[in-house]
Structure 1
Amino acid sequence: MSIESIVETTWPEILKLQAEVYHLVEPESLEVLQDKWLRSPGSCFIYRDDEQLVGYALAHSWNSKAPPKLFNKLPKGIEGSILFLHDLAVSSNSFGKGIGSKMMAHLVNVAIVSGYREIRLVSVQNSMQFWRKQGFTPLEQAVCKSYGDSAQLMKRVLWA
């Protein structure tokens, strides 16, 4: 089991996993996903188990209380004190192995070392319980309908 940086040749595996795990939210295009990686490669990574990609995370710098819009490349001038976790996906074949928690611990480490004050995300597909276990709390702010019916903006403060 290992956490690795995303490289160009990883994208077909990432797209395959995205199609597997997102069934209540429409998957985003390769171009949109790669834009997040190109903007912030140090906070984007994959998780392999026995050479097989079983998880990926895409996170980027952000400076707004509102989450980024889905299906769009990031706007210019987004750098800020927030690390926005756009995707953390784990294969359903790997549920119960603690992979999501390991990936989250790695991302928190990256965020702290990089000087981010908090991590924000939009919980989708009824995943709020997982995010609460990772130290996230819900925010009252509404999110765009493209995130799905059960979408909830959440944050985890790293330092005040």
Structure 2
Amino acid sequence: MSIHIRLINEADLDAIVAIQDSCYAAELFEDAGLIRKRLASQPQSCWLAENNTGEVLAYLFSYPSRNNQIAPLGSDFGCYADAELLYLHDMAVSFNGRGMRLAPQLLAHAEQYAADLGFNTLALVAVQGSVPYWQKQGFETVTFTGVTAVQALASYTGQNAVYMQKKLLQA
């Protein structure tokens, strides 16, 4: 089966919401309206993986951001003229896509996009006990004590959310 990675478009949103619903705890669910707004604000940094029949199997929403800027759950994507890294907001793989190594493929796509923008760092908030997965992908935990950062992480209710970064190799 061949896999194709491409930019997400609005016609894909129903499939993406269905994957999100099947992969995330109820308190992490973000509605289609918010996802639509995010896609409209950052269409060039949101990708999906589909099979040769067009079935959406996985997706990744990301956007250029600033160092140590933590996005609270349910917030719009920021638009930063002074962006310095690529923030991975949401990545999920459908049940039908499991075992196909789609997450690493999407991550590699994001890394290339970040490098093309001149960024050497990726960032994310790990939820649902995913810190070990992200550590295997080269991410490291970044600890904050500032009120704004702590509140942003706390918005991921019951998740023990952890901000992580990965430095990209320079060519």
Identical aligned pairs, as a percentage? 26
* Structure 1 position 41 matched with structure 2 position 43: yes
Whole-Å separation in 2 of the counterparts to 1:80 and 1:99: 27
Residues 10-159 of structure 1 mapped to structure 2, 5 A cutoff: 10-23=12-25, 25-50=27-52, 51-75=54-78, 77=80, 79-141=82-144, 142=150, 143-147=152-156, 148-158=158-168
Q: Is the 8 A contact 2:86 2:122 kept in 1?
A: yes
Whole-Å separation in 1 of the counterparts to 2:15 and 2:138: 29
TM-score after normalising by structure 1: 0.89
Question: What is the deviation of 1:76?
Answer: 5.4
Q: Is the 8 A contact 2:85 2:120 kept in 1?
A: yes
Question: Larger Rg: 1 or 2?
Answer: 2
Going from structure 1 to structure 2, the CA distance change for 1:5 and 1:28 (only over 3 Å counts) comes to same
Question: What is the deviation of 1:77?
Answer: 4.1
What runs of 5+ residues in structure 1 fail to find an aligned partner? none
Q: Is the 8 A contact 1:37 1:59 kept in 2?
A: no
Worse-superposed segment, 69-78 or 15-24? 69-78
Question: What is the deviation of 1:156?
Answer: 0.6
Q: Is the 8 A contact 2:65 2:79 kept in 1?
A: no
Give me the CA root mean square deviation.
2.0
Worse-superposed segment, 136-145 or 72-81? 72-81
Q: Is the 8 A contact 2:139 2:164 kept in 1?
A: yes
Question: What is the deviation of 1:79?
Answer: 4.5
What runs of 5+ residues in structure 2 fail to find an aligned partner? 145-149
TM-score after normalising by structure 2: 0.84
Shift >3 Å, 4+ stretches: 74-79
